[in-house]
Amino acid sequence: MKYAISFLGILLLVICGTLFLQYQVFSNKLDTGEGDFTYTQEIEITYRSGSLDIRHHLHNLSNQAIEIDWPNLAVSTDCFLESKTSCDRLSKDKTKFEASSSTNASLSYTIPLEGGLKTNELLKNIFVVLKNGQAAYSTVHISTDKEVEGQWITGLPLIGQQSLSMVNYTMFGGTGDISEIYWQSGVMSIQKATDLLAVYSHKPLSKEISDQLKAETFLNEDPIVLVQGKNIPDLQGKRIFFLNELSIASLQEKVILPQIRTQYGLDGSPQWVSEVIASFLTETAIGSDKSVGIVKTLTNQMSDVQKLSWIGMLNDLKGSKVTLEKLDEQLSKVFGLHTEFFAMNEESARIFPILFNDERDVYVGNELKKDVKAILKDGQVLYPLDSVLKVLGYQTSVGKNGYYVQNETQKFRFPQGYGFYVYNNQRYNTISEPLTVIADSFYIEETWLQRLFNVEIQRNESSITIRQQQ
């Protein structure tokens, strides 16, 4: 009993120490403004004299220090005295909110519009952003002079609008953040397709299009809007998307793929990467022949459980910057074997198949060959032939009658698909092919490499050594 009490006492001390360390890390993050948090916001916008005057009210702020990212175009930046405490947290240099128990703050700033308000103009990145913060709910009020007639669109659901004696007033509100607004001189009707999707168009939606929109899988958690019509911006917003026509192909190109590029930080990555991720998340074939082929290759290799795991990993990556290496890392976890499938397909004209790599370093003789990896395919171990043989002193080439290998005393020719090879002008029949062509590159099976080129292969935990026998 005494030993049990002692053990429990020690265990309690360990737990308390662990919790204390975790609390210290958490507290340090709060003090330095590194902790993630959510808040709500209310934005009042007044258009006058060619500028947007903005009063930005922030509520339910965390008590940590919070860095403020002002819009690049903003001028006259300051706090706004909405209440006694709304200016308490703004630092003297206006770059952050100081750590405080006050949960509300208000800011004011002006966004000059060169040439004034223009029809069909998407105004992007015009609102304050809080580092590590995510707006859980946004409310937006927009007022213009009476003579400014047109329609505002924000990406948030429209709550109401009213034409008063002196001003036109519009109010929006909904879950999530807002980073852009759009204004047009004409007025479109608003049609709700689903709880998370509204369509602005001049004509009512046909039943066919309405049914397609309801059946389509979009990738947004917060409401978005589609604006349909000619002479609209080439740019797409984060929650406002523009289409010349409503069709599934247009939705995929203009809405779903931009969402994928934004959510996964894929700007600069090949287009097919966005298309592959979108295809898995929507369970629809999207994009080019290469994208469709890559999805088919992966699907054919995966079990149902592996496919669900893969889609789950893709969902978990949302909000981070995704690279080909990151996708390969996740794919390797799904299969339990290392693969560079996405990286190999980056510049390959043909679809590079799924190959699994032995991650050990490969030495040819005493030379470390970074470009040589042992590949596992269909139960065989393969090596890239050119890289290995050139270090061993052979010359290689490809001709119309096959693949040629030679040194001072040996000459080989390997025709593909004929069940034989030629060695020093003598033909030898084979049951299996010594060479395999993968995406236009030649590989040799391990036992054939040993047999034909008189090499020995040694393995340890960290390396594979291919050495010519004496």
pLDDT digits (tens, 9 = 90+) for 41-53: 999 999 998 999 9
pTM for the full predicted model: 0.74
Distances (CA, A) of 83 to 86, 246, 324: 5, 47, 50
Domain boundary among 344, 378, 397: 344
Task: Answer yes or no: do 331 and 440 share one domain.
Answer: no
Q: Are residues 188 and 42 in the same domain?
A: yes
Q: Are 323 and 266 in contact (CB under 8 A)?
A: no
Tokens of 25: 């890390």
The mean pLDDT value of the chain amounts to 88
- What would the mean pLDDT of 19-27 be, rounded to a whole number? 43
3-class state of residue 168 by DSSP: strand
Q: Are 449 and 383 in contact (CB under 8 A)?
A: yes
On whether both 102 and 88 belong to a single domain, the answer is yes
Q: How far is 247 from 233, CA to CA, in rounded Å? A: 18
Q: When comparing pLDDT for 5 and 278, which is higher? A: 278
Say if residue 441 is in the same domain as residue 378. Answer: yes
In angstroms, the CA 425 to CA 410 distance is: 10
Domain boundaries, position 3:
1-31
The Cα–Cα gap between 290 and 213 comes to 26
Task: Label residue 327 exposed, middle or buried (CB < 10 Å: 0-12, 13-18, 19+).
Answer: buried
Q: In this predicted structure, which of 16-30, 115-129, 225-239 has the lowest mean pLDDT? A: 16-30
User: What is the spatial distance between Cα 54 and Cα 76, in angstroms, rounded to a whole number?
Assistant: 10
Last residue in a domain, options 260, 293, 314: 260
Q: Residue 291 falls within a domain, yes or no?
A: yes
Backbone angles phi, psi at 379, to 5 degrees: 80, 5
d(Cα 373, Cα 359) in Å, to the nearest integer? Answer: 7
Decide if 360 contacts 464 (C-beta within 8 A).
yes
The answer as to whether 25 is a domain residue is: yes
Token pair recorded at residue 266: 């894929």
Question: pLDDT tens for residues 103-136?
Answer: 999 999 999 999 999 999 899 999 999 999 999 9
Residues 361, 276, single domain; the answer is no
CA distance 403 to 401: 7
- Domain tally for the chain? 4
